[in-house]
Structure formats: structure tokens, C-alpha cells
Amino acid sequence: MNPQRIFHNSLIAILVLVAFVLPATAAQRPTGAIDLSTVQQAKILSEAQTAFDEGSSVLPADPQAAKKLFATAAEKYRLLAEGGLRNGKLEYNLANACLQSGQTGKAITGYLWARQMLGDDGCVVANLRYARSLRDAEAPAKPAVSLGDTLARWNRSLSLAVRFWIGMGAWGVFWTAWGAAVLIRRFKWRYVIVPAAIVVVLAGASVAWELSARWNHWQGVVITDNVVVRKGNGEGFAPKFVAKISDGTEFNLLERRGRWLCVQFNDGRTGWIDDDEAAVIPPREKLWQ
């Protein structure tokens, strides 16, 4: 992972996008977004790039100073997003700055936004996987105790593209073995056909499930530490779990009531959290309306 090189290569592209993407992204502006001129956007973008480059240069000698510079870069990129310039490249750069400054939850959020807009870009997928590994490394280890847990871990460890091509490869093996079984009957082709069919079904179900989640469900990420999950939509409700939720935990949004979100975490648990403690990413089709 070399975010600095990616930054340099994408800087000119983003400057061009400033002039052409702004009208297309106007419909995505949050309420109360700050209006920035093209000149202001270019200036803030340059300041963000400078802060990131300086952070990269001082990182080996002074990690704390570098972390502050990366945080400054993240704030600059966030200001651009709030100013109406929301696109995949900007979200990717924002996520990289958050990752380097130790904001794991916000980094995961940025990579999810970038993936929604850019698709399964190799750099986005790799950095998202790395950010999740940092989150998982801080969480208590939970050994897989069932086949479902094992399949879920396998599903999260492979990108959508990899799972798709595994399924297509198994599909080709299945029909090749099926045709060969007609011509060469002595070989026990069922030992090839049956495993290939199982892989096709598992990979197909995995891809279909993730595409459905991306297009129909609202995703979210906890962006602060020690979040209390409550039994209802208010601070007067008792905590639902003894353990608090950590920064970077992902969820599906089930319902919103005012500033309270009813969420379902990846382990199936549900509850209510304050929307100030989370970031929500809309389904992919909502981005283009």
C-alpha cells in the first residue's frame, strides 16, 4: 500500500473533476453544505495534499507529528466533501488520511463511500481490507465455532471480484467435467462435478448476497469508541449489551427515528445508537438520484 504515490497520480484528475463533477454532485450535498468556489476547492485540495505529503515525510522520525499532519489533511478533504465535491477519488484520499491519522472508523467509512462510487477498485479494496484488519486486531479474538462463522470469515476475506471469478472457474470446471463424463465413462467424474457444483452455489450465493446488500441496504460504521447500544431510541433506555461497541464496527441500518439509529451488527445483534456516533452510507442506487 503506497497512498502517497496514489495521491500524486490522482491530484491532477481531482483538479479536473472540480470543474466537471460539481454540477453532477449537487444533488448529493448534505443539508447546510458549505458553498465553495472552484478556486477555493483547488486551494483546499492543495493544502490537503501538502499536509499529507509532509506527514509522509516526517512519519519515520516523528510519528506523532505525522499523525497531526494526516489529521489536518483529513479535515481538508472532509471540508471539500461538505462543500459539494463528493466523488470516489476524494473519498479515497480522505479515507487514506483518516487511516494514517488513526481514525479507523472514519477510514472504513471513506473506503466504503469510494467503493460505492468507484466499484471494486483494487486500491480501494486492498486499503479497506487493511483498515478492517486494524479494527479486528484491536477487538477480542472470536474463534469460529460453527460452519456459518467459518463461511462468514471466508466471505469477508475475499473481494467480490475474486469470489465472482472463483464461481466462474468452478462453473467452467463443472460443465467441462460433465461433458467429459459423457465421453470417458470409466473415470469417476462425480468427484469433480459435485465439488464444482458446491463451489458454484456458494460463490454465487455470496456474490448475490453482497450485491443485494450494496444496492438495497443502508450501511453504517461506528466512528467513535465505547459506544453504548440501547434498547430504545433515547438516552433513557437501558444499555442492551454489557460490552460497548468500538470504533470501526460496521452495521446495517434498520430504522431511523430522529437522531437515533436502529442497527444490526455483523454478528446479528441489534440495538439503538446515536447518529453522532456513526456514519451512514446509502445504497449505491441512491447515490445517483
- Higher pLDDT residue, 152 or 130? 130
Q: What is residue 43's predicted lDDT score, i.e. its pLDDT?
A: 93
Place of cell 472552484: 38
* Tens-place pLDDT, residues 185-196: 777 778 888 888
- Higher pLDDT residue, 233 or 147? 233
* Tens-place pLDDT, residues 209-251: 666 655 667 889 999 999 999 999 999 999 999 889 999 999 9
Q: What is residue 207's predicted lDDT score, i.e. its pLDDT?
A: 78
Instruction: Name 246's Cβ contacts closer than 8 Å, sequence gap at least 6.
Output: 135, 138, 139, 222, 225, 226, 227
- C-alpha 64, offset from chain centre: 26
Domain boundaries, the chain: 3-138, 147-215, 218-288
Place of cell 479535515: 75
* Tens-place pLDDT, residues 49-68: 999 999 999 999 999 999 99
The enclosing H or E element of 220 equals: strand 218-222
pLDDT band for 205, please (50, 70, 90 cuts). Answer: confident
Distance CA 255, CA 261 (A): 6
Q: What is residue 289's predicted lDDT score, i.e. its pLDDT?
A: 42
- Fill in the amino acid letter for 68: K
pLDDT at 95 over 70: yes
Give the full edge-to-edge strand order of the sheet including 218-222.
270-274, 260-265, 250-257, 218-222, 278-281
Domain 3-138 listed as CATH 1.25.40.10: yes
Q: What is residue 157's predicted lDDT score, i.e. its pLDDT?
A: 66
- Higher pLDDT residue, 43 or 136? 43
Q: What is the mean pLDDT of the chain?
A: 81
pLDDT at 80 over 80: yes
Q: What is residue 183's predicted lDDT score, i.e. its pLDDT?
A: 80
pLDDT at 7 over 50: no
User: Superfamily for 218-288?
Assistant: SH3 Domains (2.30.30.40)
